[in-house]
Structure 1
């Protein structure tokens, strides 16, 4: 195995852990609300705090990666996640727990975007799509593992031990990455390749000017607005699916976490079939079908009389989400090719800010007993969103390549 393959594998482990940390609290909300004697909506602040910090800090990691090296920043962010995960495990009060989750989200924000940027720098275009798919498998698997392990830990280990285990995973990934970087550097010196040139210093003025110029472009503003709404509708409702399965269908927290794994399975199925489905449906068809599947899944979760139908709804919503979201990702990579890095970080920031607003909105409804109604409204809105996206994307059928 060459050094690039080893680096990708280790970066994927860090990505797996970061996505697990994002979703690990979803099945814990009911247990946290009982332990800290607050409502489920109040307990959901642990999800919103992570999402806000994760979304905002992505704007800063791009320049840091360009200035100090992407892998170096990934390693630092992974070490920081290990520290804040341990702090989370020891949090004595809900405000401390929320604060530690916010710091954890701020640290985790530097892992996935810079991993994608490293792949862009290190992998030839012909192999880039396949390589990014491998990273996507790791991140989706991390979301699935986090949702399942969060529910399992609540019942068997206790939620605090779950964060201790997560801390060890981050620490292991960071340590192995650091060791691989040092080994690669030593080999480069031994082979006479030397050290890479120092990148140009980061200019805040230039970065702000580029951001201002991007925001002045109607196409950029449209994509950013759409992805913010998508984040609110998709992630905002997803965070409360375990609570819905516990309170509405009588499942245990671990079983509810297991059901949420199907959401991630939908993402894995899409990643395996994406090339074929893009060739068959094109971006327009993919956006429409994805939005309909999300809407149908949310309606099943809201009103299904039987648990198996709700489980089917979870899988349908997951598969549909990745269909729609991948279409928006393609739009993000093409909305400003001359400033792709900055454009994509803005895209990621708006996605997670939308998620946090969605979590807050749904949380208020959950505390009033309106979760089924809110899921239904979200189902209708996401279908409308899919129609809007389908009208704006290119009509051409993609042949398995995305920029």
Structure 2
């Protein structure tokens, strides 16, 4: 079946209302990611209130990631006959329910129930997001729309860390989740008003995931995604021990550096749309290359000066800001006829990489300290860059087979 027959419809001249719909999806990203990471900033009061250990409370984050992995893989097959508008709205309703369950949880069991519901919404939403954007804007505008979509991630991460802990001290952790619920309601209303009807395409059974993975270049791309995100989260999980132990930062310098990381990450996400309009392959290659070099610089020169370390961490944040946007754009170009299934594979890969990155970082931290973590992260990222250079396709296989020069960076701007 040809790409033209199976691709979801795009709009050559998207109206302003389509961009408002994209913004409503950005609100969904912001609400979901903030809810995902709120327990990290509220861990101690949550544990005290529920009379559990902080380690047990931390499982609230882990269970969400595991369920999101499964949800991302299954959502396309389970909802294959449903209007995408209804599915996305259902995920927003699940998010509201999840936050309410957590806010009123009397014990650990109900806390985990709420976090399971959030994991279903999180994984499902991410799996459908890139394919939905393809149906809202023209092909030329997809990178910029995805860039807008992903701006919700750094804003939510900063909000969850800074506002979460601050408001938790002021009004209590349960009221923080009630505020998150109110934000989720606003998101649901905006999506209800702005999202158009989007009839599902042809049925996509679970076996479609396997067939998509068998397409030329897909497995290499998924491995590259695992390496990139594993390397990033190996470093990011232990960035605070690095800044405190190697850079010898106090709490003020530490807070300022992490804020700079978040702001740079936000700017990098915005810049990604413009970079991708010029060259997808170059963006996929350049960002892990920069991060890999920074990892080794931090491992060898870390502690030379507090300012230098802060600048390198901020540059890391900027480079990583473009990474999720770039790989989401990649999936819309290499499998445009199965963007939803491809999106599910990316979600599962990222969630797996988060877990692997934290685990690999922990092992290296015990063996060689935080500098070993930086070196390991840098090595993983450089390996990802090399894989992008030699093996990652940036066009559908049928087109790439007709033009062996697809591996050239000069051809990276070609679309479907």
- Does TM, scored on the shorter chain, surpass 0.5? yes
Q: Which moved further from structure 2: 135-144 or 381-390?
A: 135-144
How far apart are the structure 1 equivalents of 2:171 and 2:296? 31
How far apart are the structure 2 equivalents of 1:369 and 1:197? 52
How far apart are the structure 2 equivalents of 1:56 and 1:283? 29
Alignment deviations for residues 212-265 of structure 1 (CA, whole Å, 9 cap, x no partner): 22333452121122212322221343244356657875655x986664443343
Count of residues paired in the alignment: 385
Alignment deviations for residues 286-345 of structure 1 (CA, whole Å, 9 cap, x no partner): 524533335515864994365544432332222222445554444433444443332232
SS in 1 for 2:408: coil
Give the 5 Å matches for 1:1-400: 3-28=17-42, 38=53, 44-63=58-77, 66-91=80-105, 97=111, 100-153=114-167, 156-179=170-193, 199=200, 202=203, 207-217=205-215, 219-242=217-240, 249=248, 252=251, 259-274=257-272, 277=275, 283-284=281-282, 287-288=285-286, 290-296=288-294, 300=298, 303-304=302-303, 307-363=306-362, 370-393=369-392, 394-397=407-410
SS in 2 for 1:207: coil
Q: Which moved further from structure 2: 264-273 or 300-309?
A: 300-309
SS in 1 for 2:410: coil
Q: Which moved further from structure 2: 27-36 or 373-382?
A: 27-36
Tell me, yes or no, if the aligned pair for 1:151 and 1:255 is still in contact at 8 Å: no
How far apart are the structure 2 equivalents of 1:324 and 1:200? 28
**Cα separation, partners in 2 of 1:266 and 1:256, compared to 1, 3 Å:** same
How far apart are the structure 1 equivalents of 2:133 and 2:190? 18
What is aligned with 2:404? none
Q: Which runs of 5+ in 2 are unaligned?
A: 1-14, 393-406
How far apart are the structure 2 equivalents of 1:125 and 1:22? 31
**Cα separation, partners in 2 of 1:29 and 1:219, compared to 1, 3 Å:** farther
How far apart are the structure 2 equivalents of 1:93 and 1:364? 32
**Cα separation, partners in 2 of 1:86 and 1:398, compared to 1, 3 Å:** farther
**Cα separation, partners in 2 of 1:348 and 1:13, compared to 1, 3 Å:** same
Alignment deviations for residues 177-228 of structure 1 (CA, whole Å, 9 cap, x no partner): 33556xx7xxxxxxxxxxx7965784xxx52332222333452121122212
TM-score by length of 2: 0.75
What is aligned with 1:187? none
Alignment deviations for residues 41-81 of structure 1 (CA, whole Å, 9 cap, x no partner): x7653333222222221123334554222222222111211
**Cα separation, partners in 2 of 1:52 and 1:255, compared to 1, 3 Å:** farther
